[in-house]
Structure 1
Amino acid sequence: MRIGINTRSLLGQKMEGFGNYTLELVTRITKAQPEHTFILYFDRPIDPQFQFGSNVICKSVFPPTRHPFLYIIWFQWRLKKALKKDQLDVFWTPDGMFPLGISTPILATIHDLNFAHFPKDLPKWVAWYYNRYFPYFSKTAHKIITVSQTTKEDIVSTYHIPQEKIKVIYNGVSDLYRPLSKEEKQNVHLKHKLAKPYFLFVGSLHPRKNLHRLLQAFERFAQKNTDTDLVIVGASMWNNQAFKIKPELDHRIHFMGHLKTQSLAEIMASAEAFIYIPYFEGFGMPLAEAMASETPILAGNQSCLPEIAADAAHYADPFDVEDIATGMQKIKNDVALQSQLIKAGQQRVKDFNWDHAAKLLWQELQQLVS
């Protein structure tokens, strides 16, 4: 069998959500199925680390997709031509986008529809492209994978897609995320020059991640609590956002930018609590990573977060700054709550496994060919 995969999100040293998702699953299915040929399509020079095995062919298709107009050229012209030439049995696209009008069976992963509900959170032309093309992607894909029941229901209601066309496959968690000993945590603080205990946020600095309300809530919390800092890990998604921080808090809020997974896992496991209050999300990978790290979670009560975190998080209204600040106070001071959340997280995280996700993905690919 010849399986094509859109791997344009594999970017070497600086991968975010789609890239990590693609890497975890492609690594597993190419290794588990050595008798099948996998053709990976990149949109820039190929990093040697993505040559996963002798059954993997890597192809670079020009041009790099750095603008919505280039998305159209790449998917609907250049990639379409490459797929027809390569005579694939099936094509999987981890970011939901693919050439329209080809006969190859298509399996599309659609992570969420944030652009349909909050288009103003995206650059104008990006929002235009997503809202112009995703209705077609949803209708013409032969099967859709999504990462939460919440997103499945959203796709069904927004695009009127039959429920049986959509399969929910939860994401997994890297083995790098684990609890640390007291001594290991002390070393992490020294390594990253973090003098105080800290709350942690992880995610791209995208408007829907709700960073401005998180910072406002921390300002209120910090008025009564001088012994806890805030660490923010993540790169800007579209453009550099300017966050207004009071001068007296400047030394207590640490923007660390993008971190490699090993460093991020250390930072996660050493945090006093993980604070995650986006108002829209498809899965919320950092939730599962916090559970695996045995770090208590304060989460927003909107979108898929209650589905994914279940009883492993304390919840706050992401639109209510005072409620978020109160949640910070409670998760810091309530030792019984911390213990309860950690214990619940130890159980819930068992539902998030990349090996299991890869097996389910492979089953879907096989069914499209048979």
Structure 2
Amino acid sequence: MEGYGHYTAEVLRRMVASHPEDEFLLLYDRPWTHSFITAPNIHAVLVPPAARHPLSFKYWYDVKATRIVKKWKADVWFQPYGFCSLTSTIPQVLMIHDLAFLHHPEYISWYQRAYYRWFTPAFVRKAKQIITVSEFSKADILKHYHTPETKIQVIGGAVRNGFQPMEWEEKQTIKDGYADGREYFLFVGGIHPRKNLLNLLKAFSHFKKWQHSNMKLLVAGRKAWQYDDLLEKIKTYKYREDVVLLDYLSEEQLQRVTAAAYALIYPSWFEGFGLPILEAMQCGVPVVCSNTSSMPEVAGDAALLVDPSDPDAIAKEMLSLYRNEGIRNAFIAKGLERATQFSWDKTAAAVHESLCKAAQKG
């Protein structure tokens, strides 16, 4: 799972456990694993066909899912993936993580772009309440869709408990398994152009030239969109032997790889939140991240902020962490403190409150 999925799972698990008096109807468009979430107050329903294309989105939300929700006489409908039903009369709470499709339309297919551009204004009007994950995203929604400010609530994410600092011996075991025993910089996220991995590779080249270290770069994330160009460039990349593409990692593996990293380097062009920043901080791993979109808001003063368009600047901060243990330790301490300010329990409670508010309005 990535951002949307993690947020939804963490919030649902807590709401279901905290409110046994409420009944939760979970709609799936494909077979699910029972390990995702189970409880006596959950009713899971498979609603085919799988919605994986704009036309199927429309049919699934406006026809198939709407029928099921009406049949169950739901009080409120939580829509965590940025879409909602335009035909249902049941109050809906819409989750919009970000408006990346407006800022970087080049990174999604034309038909997805057309769907988002055409229907998002209608979704915003239809929703009784809107939840987003950062003040940056809230301001962005207000700017583009002119909806009442009181309709939008900022409820940020948090970090799962498994992301924790690791003892030196365990770190070395991870480094032996993934990086030939060497220290490594880490990037976490899907492999697609918005994540700015080409500039990360350029920055890593500068770092290697300046420092002549045996440091590696680990990239942990699924191949998501337009990744072929990156893979081709890595084939001829001077330091390709020091770049490790990990593709899919289990939750436990990701936690361990994060905790053993020398630093997280996160030069994404655009994020609605940027959860890997907090995950690294909670593990006691210093962070270099972009100074754009929501990332300064999430990182606060606990990360080294850089211009994602400047590989030189990214490399200089990588170098400052490598050469100056005092700077590195200071940002480790700041990051650990920053991570304590985010809590899934608080997030779930706020989402539940928003759902109750929307149900009363309806």
Q: Same fold (TM over 0.5)?
A: yes
What's the CA shift string for 1:59-91, capped at 9, x where partnerless?
111111122221112112211222222211000
Per the alignment, residue 229 of structure 2 pairs with 242
Per the alignment, residue 268 of structure 2 pairs with 278
The whole-number CA distance in structure 1 between the counterparts of 2:279 and 2:167 is: 17
Deviates more, 1:297-306 or 1:47-56: 47-56
Aligned partner of 1:118 among 89, 104, 107:
104
Distance verdict in 2 for CA 1:115–1:247, change over 3 Å: closer
Deviating beyond 6 angstroms after TM superposition, the runs of 4 or more aligned structure 1 residues are: none
Highest relative contact order (Cα 8 Å, sep 6+), 1 or 2?
2
What's the CA shift string for 1:323-352, capped at 9, x where partnerless?
112121112212121111111112211121
Q: Summarize the alignment of residues 135-154 of structure 1 with structure 2, pairs less than 5 Å apart.
A: 135-154=121-140
User: What percent of counterpart residues are identical?
Assistant: 35
Per the alignment, residue 206 of structure 1 pairs with 192
Per the alignment, residue 356 of structure 1 pairs with 346
1:247 Cα offset (Å): 4.7
- Say whether the 8 Å CA contact 2:172–2:181 is kept in structure 1: no
Deviates more, 1:189-198 or 1:144-153: 189-198
Aligned partner of 1:181 among 158, 167, 174:
167
The whole-number CA distance in structure 1 between the counterparts of 2:280 and 2:267 is: 14
Q: Summarize the alignment of residues 156-305 of structure 1 with structure 2, pairs less than 5 Å apart.
A: 156-224=142-210, 225-243=212-230, 244-245=233-234, 246-305=236-295
> Match for 1:206: what amino acid?
H
- Say whether the 8 Å CA contact 1:109–1:144 is kept in structure 2: yes
Where 2:219 maps in the other structure, the secondary structure is strand
Q: Within the alignment, does 1:134 sit opposite 2:124 as a pair?
A: no
Deviates more, 1:268-277 or 1:190-199: 190-199
> Match for 2:250: what amino acid?
K
Q: Within the alignment, does 1:329 sit opposite 2:319 as a pair?
A: yes
Number of equivalent positions: 356
The whole-number CA distance in structure 2 between the counterparts of 1:222 and 1:68 is: 44
1:275 Cα offset (Å): 0.2
- Say whether the 8 Å CA contact 2:193–2:227 is kept in structure 1: no
Q: Within the alignment, does 1:366 sit opposite 2:362 as a pair?
A: no
> Match for 1:233: what amino acid?
A
The whole-number CA distance in structure 2 between the counterparts of 1:232 and 1:369 is: 43
What's the CA shift string for 1:199-222, capped at 9, x where partnerless?
000001121111111111111211
Aligned partner of 1:99 among 85, 95, 99:
85
Per the alignment, residue 305 of structure 2 pairs with 315
What's the CA shift string for 1:32-62, capped at 9, x where partnerless?
1112110000000132223511110001111
1:190 Cα offset (Å): 2.2
The whole-number CA distance in structure 1 between the counterparts of 2:106 and 2:62 is: 26
The whole-number CA distance in structure 2 between the counterparts of 1:97 and 1:221 is: 42
**Structure 2 stretches lacking a partner, 5+ long:** none
The whole-number CA distance in structure 1 between the counterparts of 2:126 and 2:52 is: 24
**Structure 1 stretches lacking a partner, 5+ long:** 1-14
The whole-number CA distance in structure 2 between the counterparts of 1:156 and 1:211 is: 30
TM-score, normalized by length of structure 1? 0.93
The whole-number CA distance in structure 2 between the counterparts of 1:101 and 1:303 is: 33
Where 1:89 maps in the other structure, the secondary structure is coil
